[in-house]
Amino acid sequence: MSQQLIFFDIDGTLLDHDKQLPESTRQAVQALKDKGHEVAIATGRAPFMFAKLRKELDIQTYVSYNGQYVVLQGRVIHTNPLDKQALQALTDIAVLHNHPIVYMDHEDMKANVPHHDYIVESIDTLKIDNFPAHDPHYFKEREIYQSLLFCQEKEEDFYEERFKQFDFIRWHPVSVDVIPAGGSKAKGIAKITQKLEIEPENVFAFGDGLNDIEMLKTVRNSIAMGNAHDLAKKAAKYITSSVDEDGILHGLQKVGLLD
């Protein structure tokens, strides 16, 4: 079998609902590598949010920030930052509505308010060591690849109408990702496949969330987890079992990458 390129989302795909890596997933990833395949991550997370996972699985290729910061075998090959003027305007309006914002670059994240319950509630679900400190000017001198806007469901509609420079993708009941318009995991994946010169039929992707839809629609061999959002399942070519029911292993077996 020629070399295959396999992308995995993290939350709800590689990691279960307790943010643990199932042993069957760990073994499956190693088996892929033993066969000479390129294993990669495609996530909405910041690079610093999954450094431990990359080390644990020895993965050096990843699409982070939903495609805005792309690394191939340890080297940055693509970045797509948010427009600073538009981000300032978004911040000004969000402040008026008591909707806090977190600014994220490749190294850290900072909040424009000292404290807000929505920030605590959503970030805590990620079960990471990092928590955004207060620095309302963080975005002014740095390239920001993604922001988090904290608001109730459907409240992002107000911002979508006013800021065509951005896409707003909900990942939590009180938080949405803010990325450059048209940015996606699919575009980040394309940067890697082009560099590696791997044919579309040799690319695979696993995902479960709303931010995986474009990836699952675009990648030739796409697999939605059994626990995936219904729209993600509709976008995928295949559906496997849930993350906590050996979904990665079964999915890899279903598409013929593992016995």
> Active-site residues: which are they?
9
Buried b (16+ CB within 10 A) or exposed e, 65-101: bbbbbbbbeeeeebebbbeeebbeebbeebeeeebbb
124 CB burial (10 A radius; 0-12, 13-18, 19+): exposed
Which H/E stretch holds residue 257? none
For residue 220, give both structure tokens: 């030739």
Residues 6+ apart with CB under 8 A from 20: none
For tokens 């016995």, the residue is 259
The single-letter DSSP state of residue 134 is E
How far apart are the C-alpha atoms of 217 and 233, rounded to whole Å?
10
Beta carbons of 119 and 150 less than 8 angstroms apart: yes
Sign of the C-alpha dihedral, residues 194, 199, 201, 202? negative
Reduced to 3 states (helix: H, G, I; strand: E, B; else coil), residue 223 is strand
Closest to 184 measured CA to CA, from 61, 44, 20, 78:
44
Q: Which two tokens stand for residue 171?
A: 């990942």
